[in-house]
Structure 1
Amino acid sequence: MSTMNISLPETLKAFVDEQVSRRGYGTSSEYVRELIRKDQDRLQLRGLLLAGAASNPATPADAGYFDGLRDRVRKAANTNAKA
């Protein structure tokens, strides 16, 4: 694992220390890693949303579409519950 040193103003360091304590992180590094992972997820989701917004609709989003979507989600949930 690589090491990275960062400088923070005292107010931000105090905030990080408080979050580590309140949220049960073992170290400030764990907290920062979690923030970075969440930012990666947010950027990935943003990219997917932008790609979806730029794409042409394949089928209308009518009641049948949502019924099929619900069925797929239920099947996936049942499959994951059995695993």
Structure 2
Amino acid sequence: MSMHRKTITLTEQQDNWVKGQIDSGHFGNDSEYIRHLIRQDQQAQEQLFELRQALKKGEASGKSRPLNMTSIKAAGRKRIKAAD
């Protein structure tokens, strides 16, 4: 994988935060920390996309009906008994 050099500008507070993460031993250098943040953002964006897709699917599935909490609880108790 090829690497690309980027120049970023941080506030003093942000720079101190990054240095603190490195000093704590969580990361070896600034680049490792920034790559970690990018990976976290990528995962968060993927999860958000999946959630939005699930919401669209749910909305397209038709009209909702009221929940019957008694039957939901009964089904849960049945599953717990079956697991024992």
TM-score normalised per structure 2 = 0.64
Supply the RMSD in Å over aligned alpha carbons: 1.9
Matched residue, 1:48? 50
Query: Which stretches in structure 1 are left out of the alignment for 5+ residues?
Result: 68-83
Q: Deviations over 1:30-62 (max 9, x none)?
A: 0010000000000000000010011045xxxx7
Q: Secondary structure at the match of 1:55?
A: helix
1:9 equivalent to 2:27? Answer no
Q: Which residue of 2 aligns with 1:31?
A: 33
- Code of the aligned partner of 1:25: F
d(CA) in 1 for partners of 2:26, 2:9 = 23
* Runs of 5+ unmatched residues, structure 2: 62-71, 80-84
What letter corresponds to residue 53 of structure 2 in structure 1? Answer: A
Identity of aligned residues (%): 31
Moved more, 39-48 or 15-24: 15-24
Q: Provide the C-alpha distance between the structure 1 equivalents of 2:28 and 2:47, rounded to a whole number of angstroms.
A: 28
Question: In 2, Cα distance between the equivalents of 1:55 and 1:24?
Answer: 40
- Whose Rg is larger? 2
